[in-house]
Amino acid sequence: MQAKTSFRDVFYVSDGTAITSETMGHAVLGQFSIETKQTTVPFVENIERAEEVKLLINNAFEKRGTKPLVFYSIVVPEVREIIEQANGQFYDVLKTLVEPLSRDLGLTPTPKLQRSHSINRDARSYMDRIAAIEYTLAHDDGISLNNLEESDIILLGVSRCGKTPTSLYLAMQFGIRAVNYPFIQEDMDSLKLPSAIEPYRYKTFGLTITPERLHAIREGRMANSEYASQDQCEKELGKVEALFRKEAIPYLNTTSLSVEEISTRLLDMSGLQRRMC
Protein backbone atom coordinates (compact mmCIF):
# COMPACT_ATOMS: atom_id res chain seq x y z
CA MET A 1 0.00 0.00 0.00
CA GLN A 2 1.23 3.48 -0.87
CA ALA A 3 2.32 5.81 1.90
CA LYS A 4 -0.35 8.23 2.98
CA THR A 5 0.04 11.81 1.91
CA SER A 6 -1.89 15.01 2.50
CA PHE A 7 -1.24 16.22 -1.06
CA ARG A 8 -2.27 14.58 -4.31
CA ASP A 9 -2.54 15.45 -7.96
CA VAL A 10 -6.11 14.94 -9.18
CA PHE A 11 -7.24 14.52 -12.78
CA TYR A 12 -10.81 14.74 -14.07
CA VAL A 13 -10.93 13.05 -17.47
CA SER A 14 -13.85 12.57 -19.83
CA ASP A 15 -14.80 12.09 -23.46
CA GLY A 16 -17.36 14.86 -22.87
CA THR A 17 -17.20 18.09 -20.89
CA ALA A 18 -15.84 16.39 -17.72
CA ILE A 19 -18.46 18.18 -15.62
CA THR A 20 -19.77 14.87 -14.25
CA SER A 21 -16.26 13.69 -13.33
CA GLU A 22 -15.52 17.02 -11.64
CA THR A 23 -18.79 17.12 -9.73
CA MET A 24 -18.53 13.58 -8.38
CA GLY A 25 -14.80 13.91 -7.71
CA HIS A 26 -15.26 17.14 -5.77
CA ALA A 27 -18.07 15.59 -3.73
CA VAL A 28 -15.96 12.58 -2.77
CA LEU A 29 -12.73 14.48 -2.10
CA GLY A 30 -14.65 16.87 0.11
CA GLN A 31 -14.90 14.06 2.64
CA PHE A 32 -11.14 14.05 3.19
CA SER A 33 -8.65 16.52 4.62
CA ILE A 34 -6.31 16.72 1.65
CA GLU A 35 -4.63 19.36 -0.48
CA THR A 36 -4.82 18.84 -4.23
CA LYS A 37 -3.60 20.12 -7.55
CA GLN A 38 -6.52 19.55 -9.90
CA THR A 39 -6.43 19.21 -13.68
CA THR A 40 -9.48 18.80 -15.91
CA VAL A 41 -9.11 17.18 -19.32
CA PRO A 42 -12.33 17.13 -21.39
CA PHE A 43 -13.06 15.65 -24.83
CA VAL A 44 -10.65 12.71 -24.67
CA GLU A 45 -12.24 11.06 -27.69
CA ASN A 46 -9.36 9.34 -29.49
CA ILE A 47 -6.18 7.39 -28.94
CA GLU A 48 -3.87 10.37 -29.59
CA ARG A 49 -5.63 12.44 -26.94
CA ALA A 50 -5.57 9.47 -24.55
CA GLU A 51 -1.81 9.15 -24.95
CA GLU A 52 -1.46 12.83 -24.03
CA VAL A 53 -3.50 12.29 -20.87
CA LYS A 54 -1.48 9.20 -20.00
CA LEU A 55 1.71 11.28 -20.28
CA LEU A 56 0.27 14.01 -18.04
CA ILE A 57 -0.61 11.49 -15.35
CA ASN A 58 2.78 9.77 -15.58
CA ASN A 59 4.61 13.12 -15.34
CA ALA A 60 2.65 13.99 -12.21
CA PHE A 61 3.55 10.60 -10.71
CA GLU A 62 7.25 11.06 -11.47
CA LYS A 63 7.26 14.56 -10.00
CA ARG A 64 5.44 13.72 -6.75
CA GLY A 65 6.30 10.08 -6.26
CA THR A 66 2.65 9.27 -5.48
CA LYS A 67 -0.03 8.12 -7.86
CA PRO A 68 -2.47 10.83 -8.96
CA LEU A 69 -6.17 10.30 -8.36
CA VAL A 70 -8.01 10.00 -11.68
CA PHE A 71 -11.79 10.41 -11.83
CA TYR A 72 -12.86 9.48 -15.32
CA SER A 73 -15.78 8.76 -17.61
CA ILE A 74 -14.68 7.21 -20.91
CA VAL A 75 -16.93 5.21 -23.23
CA VAL A 76 -14.56 3.99 -25.99
CA PRO A 77 -12.71 0.90 -24.64
CA GLU A 78 -9.48 1.56 -26.56
CA VAL A 79 -9.28 5.10 -25.19
CA ARG A 80 -10.08 3.98 -21.66
CA GLU A 81 -7.46 1.21 -21.73
CA ILE A 82 -4.68 3.63 -22.69
CA ILE A 83 -5.50 6.00 -19.86
CA GLU A 84 -5.72 3.15 -17.35
CA GLN A 85 -2.13 2.16 -18.26
CA ALA A 86 -0.88 5.34 -16.56
CA ASN A 87 0.53 5.42 -13.02
CA GLY A 88 -2.62 6.58 -11.32
CA GLN A 89 -5.40 5.49 -8.99
CA PHE A 90 -8.50 5.24 -11.19
CA TYR A 91 -12.14 5.82 -10.30
CA ASP A 92 -14.79 5.29 -12.98
CA VAL A 93 -17.45 7.80 -11.89
CA LEU A 94 -20.30 6.06 -13.73
CA LYS A 95 -19.49 2.36 -13.33
CA THR A 96 -20.52 2.14 -9.69
CA LEU A 97 -23.95 3.49 -10.59
CA VAL A 98 -24.47 1.97 -14.04
CA GLU A 99 -23.90 -1.65 -12.97
CA PRO A 100 -26.45 -1.77 -10.12
CA LEU A 101 -28.91 0.29 -12.16
CA SER A 102 -28.57 -2.15 -15.06
CA ARG A 103 -29.28 -5.01 -12.67
CA ASP A 104 -32.30 -3.32 -11.10
CA LEU A 105 -33.78 -2.25 -14.42
CA GLY A 106 -33.09 -5.55 -16.10
CA LEU A 107 -31.60 -3.65 -19.04
CA THR A 108 -28.19 -3.70 -20.68
CA PRO A 109 -26.62 -0.22 -20.99
CA THR A 110 -25.73 0.90 -24.50
CA PRO A 111 -23.26 3.73 -23.94
CA LYS A 112 -22.51 6.17 -26.71
CA LEU A 113 -19.88 8.86 -26.93
CA GLN A 114 -20.99 12.02 -25.07
CA ARG A 115 -24.44 10.56 -24.56
CA SER A 116 -25.98 12.34 -21.60
CA HIS A 117 -29.12 14.15 -20.61
CA SER A 118 -27.76 17.55 -21.59
CA ILE A 119 -28.37 20.60 -23.70
CA ASN A 120 -27.09 18.63 -26.69
CA ARG A 121 -30.21 16.48 -26.58
CA ASP A 122 -32.77 19.18 -26.12
CA ALA A 123 -32.41 22.39 -28.11
CA ARG A 124 -35.41 23.94 -26.38
CA SER A 125 -33.84 23.38 -22.97
CA TYR A 126 -30.65 24.99 -24.22
CA MET A 127 -32.47 28.05 -25.50
CA ASP A 128 -34.45 28.31 -22.24
CA ARG A 129 -31.21 28.38 -20.31
CA ILE A 130 -29.70 31.03 -22.55
CA ALA A 131 -32.85 33.12 -22.09
CA ALA A 132 -32.57 32.70 -18.31
CA ILE A 133 -28.96 33.91 -18.36
CA GLU A 134 -29.85 36.93 -20.52
CA TYR A 135 -32.78 37.80 -18.23
CA THR A 136 -30.64 37.45 -15.10
CA LEU A 137 -27.87 39.65 -16.49
CA ALA A 138 -30.44 42.30 -17.45
CA HIS A 139 -31.77 42.26 -13.88
CA ASP A 140 -28.46 42.09 -12.02
CA ASP A 141 -27.65 44.45 -9.16
CA GLY A 142 -30.84 46.51 -9.53
CA ILE A 143 -30.21 47.40 -13.20
CA SER A 144 -33.89 46.88 -13.97
CA LEU A 145 -37.08 46.04 -12.12
CA ASN A 146 -39.11 45.67 -15.31
CA ASN A 147 -40.84 42.44 -16.33
CA LEU A 148 -40.68 40.98 -12.82
CA GLU A 149 -43.66 38.80 -13.68
CA GLU A 150 -41.24 36.75 -15.80
CA SER A 151 -38.86 36.12 -12.90
CA ASP A 152 -38.64 32.84 -11.01
CA ILE A 153 -36.95 34.29 -7.94
CA ILE A 154 -36.00 37.72 -6.58
CA LEU A 155 -33.04 38.13 -4.24
CA LEU A 156 -32.55 41.06 -1.87
CA GLY A 157 -29.63 41.99 0.34
CA VAL A 158 -26.81 44.41 1.07
CA SER A 159 -23.97 44.89 -1.38
CA ARG A 160 -21.49 41.97 -1.47
CA CYS A 161 -23.59 39.34 0.30
CA GLY A 162 -23.57 36.93 -2.65
CA LYS A 163 -26.58 37.95 -4.74
CA THR A 164 -24.92 38.19 -8.16
CA PRO A 165 -22.95 34.91 -8.16
CA THR A 166 -25.99 33.08 -6.79
CA SER A 167 -28.28 34.58 -9.43
CA LEU A 168 -25.91 33.64 -12.25
CA TYR A 169 -25.40 30.15 -10.90
CA LEU A 170 -29.16 29.60 -10.75
CA ALA A 171 -29.52 30.81 -14.33
CA MET A 172 -26.61 28.88 -15.79
CA GLN A 173 -27.09 25.61 -13.95
CA PHE A 174 -30.86 25.42 -13.61
CA GLY A 175 -32.38 27.85 -16.11
CA ILE A 176 -33.83 29.95 -13.29
CA ARG A 177 -34.68 33.57 -14.13
CA ALA A 178 -33.26 35.45 -11.17
CA VAL A 179 -33.52 39.12 -10.21
CA ASN A 180 -31.24 40.61 -7.59
CA TYR A 181 -31.63 43.99 -5.96
CA PRO A 182 -29.08 45.58 -3.59
CA PHE A 183 -29.90 47.73 -0.58
CA ILE A 184 -27.22 50.43 -0.53
CA GLN A 185 -26.06 52.94 2.06
CA GLU A 186 -28.41 55.63 0.74
CA ASP A 187 -31.42 53.35 1.33
CA MET A 188 -30.79 52.90 5.03
CA ASP A 189 -32.53 56.06 6.33
CA SER A 190 -35.90 54.97 4.89
CA LEU A 191 -35.45 51.31 4.16
CA LYS A 192 -38.45 49.59 2.61
CA LEU A 193 -39.40 46.93 0.12
CA PRO A 194 -39.24 48.44 -3.41
CA SER A 195 -42.74 49.09 -4.73
CA ALA A 196 -42.00 47.17 -7.94
CA ILE A 197 -41.13 44.07 -5.90
CA GLU A 198 -44.10 44.31 -3.52
CA PRO A 199 -46.53 42.36 -5.78
CA TYR A 200 -43.96 39.57 -6.09
CA ARG A 201 -43.01 39.14 -2.44
CA TYR A 202 -44.15 35.50 -2.67
CA LYS A 203 -41.05 34.75 -4.75
CA THR A 204 -38.71 37.14 -2.94
CA PHE A 205 -35.92 35.93 -0.67
CA GLY A 206 -33.22 37.68 1.31
CA LEU A 207 -29.52 36.95 1.60
CA THR A 208 -27.51 38.06 4.59
CA ILE A 209 -24.01 37.53 5.98
CA THR A 210 -22.10 38.19 9.18
CA PRO A 211 -20.70 41.73 9.64
CA GLU A 212 -17.18 40.33 10.00
CA ARG A 213 -17.32 38.47 6.70
CA LEU A 214 -18.94 41.40 4.89
CA HIS A 215 -16.26 43.73 6.25
CA ALA A 216 -13.51 41.42 4.96
CA ILE A 217 -15.09 41.19 1.49
CA ARG A 218 -15.62 44.94 1.19
CA GLU A 219 -12.12 45.69 2.47
CA GLY A 220 -10.77 43.68 -0.41
CA ARG A 221 -12.73 45.87 -2.81
CA MET A 222 -12.56 49.33 -1.20
CA ALA A 223 -10.05 49.27 1.63
CA ASN A 224 -10.34 51.81 4.47
CA SER A 225 -13.60 53.24 3.12
CA GLU A 226 -16.78 53.97 5.07
CA TYR A 227 -18.49 51.44 2.79
CA ALA A 228 -16.15 48.71 4.07
CA SER A 229 -16.03 49.72 7.73
CA GLN A 230 -17.17 47.26 10.38
CA ASP A 231 -19.61 49.82 11.76
CA GLN A 232 -21.25 50.41 8.37
CA CYS A 233 -21.51 46.68 7.73
CA GLU A 234 -23.20 46.14 11.10
CA LYS A 235 -25.66 48.99 10.54
CA GLU A 236 -26.68 47.88 7.07
CA LEU A 237 -27.10 44.25 8.01
CA GLY A 238 -29.08 45.10 11.13
CA LYS A 239 -31.54 47.28 9.23
CA VAL A 240 -31.91 44.91 6.29
CA GLU A 241 -32.48 41.86 8.49
CA ALA A 242 -35.06 43.86 10.46
CA LEU A 243 -36.82 44.62 7.16
CA PHE A 244 -36.83 40.95 6.21
CA ARG A 245 -38.44 40.06 9.53
CA LYS A 246 -40.97 42.89 9.33
CA GLU A 247 -42.02 42.00 5.78
CA ALA A 248 -41.88 38.25 6.43
CA ILE A 249 -39.27 37.78 3.70
CA PRO A 250 -37.49 34.42 4.19
CA TYR A 251 -33.74 34.89 4.28
CA LEU A 252 -30.56 32.86 4.29
CA ASN A 253 -27.18 33.52 5.88
CA THR A 254 -24.50 32.96 3.23
CA THR A 255 -21.42 33.34 5.44
CA SER A 256 -20.21 29.73 5.43
CA LEU A 257 -21.98 28.54 2.28
CA SER A 258 -20.65 28.04 -1.24
CA VAL A 259 -22.67 29.41 -4.17
CA GLU A 260 -23.77 25.84 -4.91
CA GLU A 261 -25.08 25.42 -1.37
CA ILE A 262 -26.81 28.81 -1.41
CA SER A 263 -28.52 28.00 -4.70
CA THR A 264 -29.63 24.55 -3.58
CA ARG A 265 -31.08 25.90 -0.33
CA LEU A 266 -32.93 28.64 -2.19
CA LEU A 267 -34.41 26.07 -4.58
CA ASP A 268 -35.57 24.07 -1.58
CA MET A 269 -37.01 27.13 0.19
CA SER A 270 -38.81 28.37 -2.93
CA GLY A 271 -40.04 25.04 -4.24
CA LEU A 272 -38.57 25.80 -7.68
CA GLN A 273 -37.73 22.79 -9.81
CA ARG A 274 -34.25 22.31 -11.23
CA ARG A 275 -34.42 22.51 -15.01
CA MET A 276 -31.60 20.14 -15.78
CA CYS A 277 -32.10 18.09 -18.93
Output the domain CATH number for residue 148: 3.40.50
Per residue in 54-108, pLDDT (tens digit) is 999 999 999 999 999 999 999 889 999 999 999 999 999 888 788 888 888 898 8
In this prediction, residue 117 has a pLDDT band, given cuts at 50, 70 and 90, of: very low
Are 79 and 157 part of one and the same domain? no
| pTM for the predicted model, two decimal places | 0.64
Q: What is the pLDDT of residue 84?
A: 96
In a domain, 46, yes or no: yes
Summarize pLDDT for 209-268 with one digit per residue, the tens: 999 999 999 999 899 999 999 999 999 999 999 999 999 999 999 999 999 899 989 999
Give how far Cα 234 sits from Cα of 132, 158, 188, 229, Å.
34, 11, 12, 9
Residues 49, 131 within the same domain: no
Whether 188 and 247 map to the same domain: the answer is: yes
pLDDT at 27 over 50: yes
At 32, give phi and psi (nearest 5°). -125, 145
Distance, CA of 6 to CA of 36 (rounded, Å): 8
Handedness of CA 231, 236, 242, 245 (dihedral sign): negative
Number of domains in the chain: 2
pLDDT tens-place string over residues 144-191: 999 999 999 999 999 999 999 999 999 988 899 999 999 999 999 999
Largest CA distance in the chain: 68
The closest of 140, 144, 143 to 168, measured between CA atoms, is 140
Cβ proximity of 125 and 149 under 8 Å:
no
Boundaries of domain holding 36: 7-105
Same domain, 180 and 70: no
Residue 113 in domain:
no
